[in-house]
Structure 1
Amino acid sequence: MTAVTKIVFLGATSASFGISIFRDLFSSHDLAGSTLVMVGRNVERLARAERLAKLLNDKSGAGLKIESTTDWRSALDGAAFIIHSTVIDRNRLWKLDWEVPRKYGIRHTLGENGGPGGLFFTLRTLPVVFDFVREMERRCPQALFINFSNPESRIVLALGQYSRIRTVGLCHGIFMARDAVAAIVGLPSEQVEVWGAGLNHFQCLTQIRDRATGADLYPLLREKERNYDPKVSPLSRNLFRAFGYWLGCGDGHVGEYMAYGWEAGEGGYNFEWDEGERAKTEKTIDDVLAGRAEIPWWWLTPSGERAVAVIAAVLHDRKQLIESGVVYNQKTIPNLPANAAVEVPVMADIAGIHPVSLGPLPDAVAKLMAVQVNVQQLAVEAAVRASKELALQALLIDPVVNSADAARQLLDELWEINRLYIRNCL
C-alpha cells in the first residue's frame, strides 16, 4: 500500500519561496496521493498560488491533491508535516531593522539574524510561530514542523525550550559555503563534499573532501586561498586564516555575529533588487496562468531545498541523510550549550529527525560561537516574555552593539514600531 500524508504549507503565497517548494513537490513522485493544503491570508494571492500549484501538479504528474484555505487552524487537523515560511511585513520592517540602528551609530551587515535586527525579527516572529505551534499541539501533536523562516536559530531554540512539537529548521547555507570553497580551489561544486556543524549561517566546515577520491581538500584550500582575489569573501577568509577552518556561508551572514563584521561591507540587504525579482516572478506566474508564456523549464526541477526530501524520508522510512538541519542541541555538539540551536547533518526516517554528531568543534571555534549562543538565548527569552528589559540586556551582550546609549535609543524606536507584534508567548 502506498503511503500518503497531509502537508500544510504556511506562507504558500510567497512568490519567491513558494516557487522553490513547488519545484521540489512537483519534480518528485514520492508524495503521490498525498494532500497539500496551501495556507495564506490574502485571498487573491492564495487563489493564484493554488492555480499555479494545480498547473504544475498536472504538468509534472506528481499526483498530489491540492487544496487551499485562509483558515490555518482547521488546515492543521490531521496534518503530518507543516512547512513554515511566514514573515510579518518582511521588507518594510526589515529595512527599518537595518536603518534605525545605523542612525544611532551601529555598524552591521544585514540586520536579520544577528545584531539589533536579529533581535527584532525574533520579537515579532516568535508570537506568530507559537500561535501555529500551540494549535499544532491540539490538532496534530505528532506532526513535524519544518521551518524556513528567519531567524532560524532563534525559532528552533524557542520551540526546543517551550514546545514538545518536533521541529527542524532547513537552510541552504551549507551549500553556499561549499560553493565558496569550491570556487577557491577551482573545482565544480558537485565534486566538493563538505561536512559542517555550528550555528545557522555560522557553520564550521569540519571536513572538505573531493567527492570522487575522498582526498582532504583543506591543504589545497589553504594554498589557493593565499593568492585568490582579495575582494572575494574577505571576512570569511580572515576567519579561515585565524581559526584554520572555513566558517559560515558568506560574509554578510557571518558578519551579523561579529563586532567587526562591518569591515567586509555595510551594504545591507538589496531591497530594491528583491522587490524587482519578486515583481518579475509574479509577472511570470500571471503570464503562465493566462497562457501568455510557457512554464519555465526549471520550475519542474528540484530547487536544492530539502523539505520534500525530509518528508519523503519520514513517510517512506528511507533513512535519508540531510546535509544540514537546525535542531535543539542537547549535546549533539558537545562543547556548545545543550540548550542551543545548532546546525548539523541530520538523518530522517519514520521515527523523525536524528541529529548526527560530528564531535566537538575546535575549541577556539566553539568559544567564538558560544558568544552568539548567549545572545540568541537572551533574545528568545525577551521575545517569549515580551520583555523590554530582557531585550535591552540582549542588545548589551551582542558584540555588534558598540554603545549602551545607542542600544537604548534604537530599542525605544524599534519597540514602538514593532509594538503591535510583540506579545507574551507563555
Structure 2
Amino acid sequence: MSRKALKLVTIGGGSSYTPELIEGFIKRKDQLPIKEIWLVDIPEGEEKLNIVGAMAKRMVKAAGLDWEIHLTLNRREALKDADFVSTQFRVGLMQARIKDERIPGSYGMLGQETNGAGGIFKAFRTVPVILDIVKDMKELCPNAWLINFTNPSGMITEAIVTYGKWKKVIGLCNVPVNAMISEPELIGKNLDELIYKFAGIDHFHWHKVFDNQGNEVTMDIINKMLGDGDAGLPKNIFDVPFYREQLEQMKMIPCGYHRYYYREEEMLKHSLDEFNNQGTRAQQVMQIEKELFELYKDPNLDYKPKQLAERGGAHYSDAACESIASIFADKRTHMVVSTVNNGSVPDLPTDHVVEVSAQLGATGAIPMAFGNFQPAERGWIQLMKNMELVIVQAAATGDYGLALQAFTMNPLIRSGNTAKRILDEMLIAHKNYLPQFADKIAELEKQGVTVKDEVAAHIDETMHVGVTE
C-alpha cells in the first residue's frame, strides 16, 4: 500500500450513493493521502456514471483538492495496483429488484430486497460477480482491502471469504450506523457517552447499550422507542412497533428488519398493499433515483443533496470511508462490520461471517466478544445463518437442490408447491444473470415455465425509467 498516494476504486461508481462516498473522502482529506479515485460501472450504467462522475469532479474541485477522478467501464484497468476497492453494485439493475418484489407478491408472499425470495435471488445474482471481482483482485491488486456494501452484504462477505478465499474484506451495513446516530438523543446522550455491543448477522442482529460507567441503558432506549417510534428505522422498512413484552424479555434492541419475522403478518399485509396499489419499494425508489439524477445533472451542484437521504441507504458510503481511514491509519475505531466470527458469537460457527461490534485497524476487524444468546434468539440466529450458508453455496455452485432447500428454510416463504413455482419462475425471470443455473433454467424452459403474463407486463412498463444502482 502506498503511504503517500492512495488509489481507491469503487465498483458500481454510477450509483446514486456515490456523492456521499465522495463527501466522506473529502471529510477525511487530512487522514487519507488520496491520489486517484476510479469509478467503475458497466455499459448499461454509463450514462449514470458520467453524470455522477462529473458531479464527483465538481465536489473535489470545490473542496480545493487535486485528486484525479477516473471514470471507466474497464474494471481490470481500474483494479491495477489499487489500495482499497469498495463495491456498491446491483446485478440486473433496478429492474431485477422489481422482479424480486413483484413475482413473490403475485403469489401473496413477501417481495423484499434482502429478505424472503427476493433476498435469496439477489444473492444468487451477485455471488458469481463478486467472485469474479475477487479473482481479478488476486491478479491485479493482491494487497488491496475489499470494502463491500453490496447487498445482501453479509452473504456477499461470506462468499468472498468462503469461496473467494479472500481474507482482507470488511462487510458494511448502514442499519447499525443509523441506530448509533439516532438512539443516543432518545435518552439525552451523545454517542461518545455510550458503549454499543452488536451481534448477529447482516439485517438480523441485536444490540445492547451501556453508558461510560458500565450501566446498561438498553431498556431506557427501548422505552423511548416504544413511546416515540424507532428513530433509526431505514426508509425502506414499514414502521410496525415491536411488542413491548417481547423486548422486555430479550432485553436487547432488534434490528429494524426483525419486523419481517416478529411481525410477519403486518409486514406482509403492508407489502401486498403496496404491491396492489402504489407499487413496490423498487418502483418507488426508481422515481427517487430519477429525481436524484436530474439534480446531479446541475452543473452548479457540487455537494451531496439532502434528497439522497430518502433513498434508504444513508450512511453506507460514509461508513465505507471510515473503514478505509481506520485501516489505513490503524485508528482501531469501533465499528459494526461483517467479518469472520473467530468466537465472538459462540452460538455460530467460528470460521464463518457474522455482523458484530469490532475494532477496526491495520489488520482489519478484531471482533468483540458478545457471548451466548438466549434460546429464542439462539434459535433464530442459527436458522438464519445456516440458511445463509445454504444460499451462498447454491449461488456459488448452481445446485438447484440447495436453492430449493434455501426456499424451504426461509421463514418468509411458505414451503410447498407454490414456493417451488416462485423459485422456478424467478430462475426464468433472471436467467441472464444466473449462469450457474443455466442447465436447470434450460430444463425449466423446456417444461414451459414462464413469468406470469401480468407480472411480466408490469415489469416491462417500468423499464423505460432506465435507472441502475
Structures share a fold, TM > 0.5? yes
Q: Which residue of the other structure, out of 231, 235, 242, is the alignment partner of 1:235?
A: 242
Change (3 A) 1:238 1:93: farther
Change (3 A) 1:122 1:24: same
SS at match of 2:216: coil
For 1:286, the equivalent position in structure 2 comes to 297
Q: Distance in 1 between matches of 2:60 and 2:225?
A: 45
**Is residue 2:411 matched to residue 1:399?**
yes
Q: Which residue of the other structure, out of 389, 392, 395, is the alignment partner of 1:383?
A: 395
Q: Distance in 2 between matches of 1:238 and 1:90?
A: 41
**Is residue 2:230 matched to residue 1:216?**
no
Q: Which residue of the other structure, out of 168, 172, 175, is the alignment partner of 1:173?
A: 175
User: In terms of mean alpha carbon deviation, does 191-200 or 167-176 score higher?
Assistant: 191-200
Q: Is the 8 A contact 1:178 1:192 kept in 2?
A: no
Change (3 A) 1:308 1:420: same
Q: Distance in 1 between matches of 2:327 and 2:243?
A: 35
Change (3 A) 1:367 1:181: farther
For 1:200, the equivalent position in structure 2 comes to 202
Percent identity (aligned) = 22
User: In terms of mean alpha carbon deviation, does 81-90 or 185-194 score higher?
Assistant: 185-194
Q: Which residue of the other structure, out of 360, 365, 386, is the alignment partner of 1:348?
A: 360
What is the CA-CA distance between 1:11 and the residue it aligns to? 0.5
Q: Distance in 2 between matches of 1:238 and 1:59?
A: 52
For 2:67, the equivalent position in structure 1 comes to 64
Q: Could you list the runs of 5+ residues in structure 2 that have no partner in the other structure?
A: 231-237, 272-279, 308-313, 438-469
1:270 alignment partner AA: R
Q: Distance in 2 between matches of 1:56 and 1:350?
A: 29
Q: Is the 8 A contact 2:55 2:297 kept in 1?
A: no
2:294 alignment partner AA: K
**Is residue 2:339 matched to residue 1:327?**
yes
For 1:130, the equivalent position in structure 2 comes to 131
- Matches for 1:287-326 after TM superposition, within 5 Å: 287=298, 289=299, 291=300, 295=303, 303=315, 305-318=318-331, 320-326=332-338
Q: Normalised by the size of structure 1, how large is the TM-score?
A: 0.86
For 2:5, the equivalent position in structure 1 comes to 4
**Is residue 2:252 matched to residue 1:254?**
no
Q: Could you list the runs of 5+ residues in structure 1 that have no partner in the other structure?
A: none
Change (3 A) 1:186 1:60: same
2:328 alignment partner AA: L
What is the CA-CA distance between 1:386 and the residue it aligns to? 1.2
Spell out, residue by residue over 1:18-74, the C-alpha distance to the aligned partner (whole angstroms, 9 max, x if none): 122111012221223431111112333323332222211111134422222110012
2:321 alignment partner AA: V
Q: Is the 8 A contact 1:34 1:65 kept in 2?
A: yes
Q: Which residue of the other structure, out of 240, 245, 248, is the alignment partner of 2:252?
A: 245
For 2:20, the equivalent position in structure 1 comes to 20
Q: Is the 8 A contact 2:204 2:258 kept in 1?
A: yes
For 1:157, the equivalent position in structure 2 comes to 158
Change (3 A) 1:125 1:294: closer
For 2:116, the equivalent position in structure 1 comes to 115
Spell out, residue by residue over 1:379-406, the C-alpha distance to the aligned partner (whole angstroms, 9 max, x if none): 1111111122211111111111223111
Whichever structure has more helix as a proportion of its residues is 2
2:258 alignment partner AA: V
What is the CA-CA distance between 1:310 and the residue it aligns to? 1.6
SS at match of 1:9: strand
2:242 alignment partner AA: L
For 1:92, the equivalent position in structure 2 comes to 95
SS at match of 2:434: coil
For 1:35, the equivalent position in structure 2 comes to 36
Q: Distance in 2 between matches of 1:189 and 1:261?
A: 33
Q: Distance in 2 between matches of 1:177 and 1:9?
A: 26
Q: Is the 8 A contact 1:234 1:264 kept in 2?
A: no
Q: Distance in 2 between matches of 1:294 and 1:367?
A: 49
Q: Is the 8 A contact 1:239 1:246 kept in 2?
A: no
Q: Distance in 1 between matches of 2:164 and 2:117?
A: 26
Q: Distance in 2 between matches of 1:303 and 1:227?
A: 25
> What is the aligned-residue RMSD (CA, Å)?
2.9
Q: Distance in 1 between matches of 2:93 and 2:305?
A: 29
User: In terms of mean alpha carbon deviation, does 376-385 or 326-335 score higher?
Assistant: 326-335
**Is residue 2:363 matched to residue 1:361?**
no
What is the CA-CA distance between 1:233 and the residue it aligns to? 3.9
Change (3 A) 1:119 1:189: farther
Q: Is the 8 A contact 1:235 1:261 kept in 2?
A: no
Q: Normalised by the size of structure 2, how large is the TM-score?
A: 0.79
Q: How many residues align?
A: 409
Q: Distance in 1 between matches of 2:60 and 2:426?
A: 43
What is the CA-CA distance between 1:201 and the residue it aligns to? 1.5
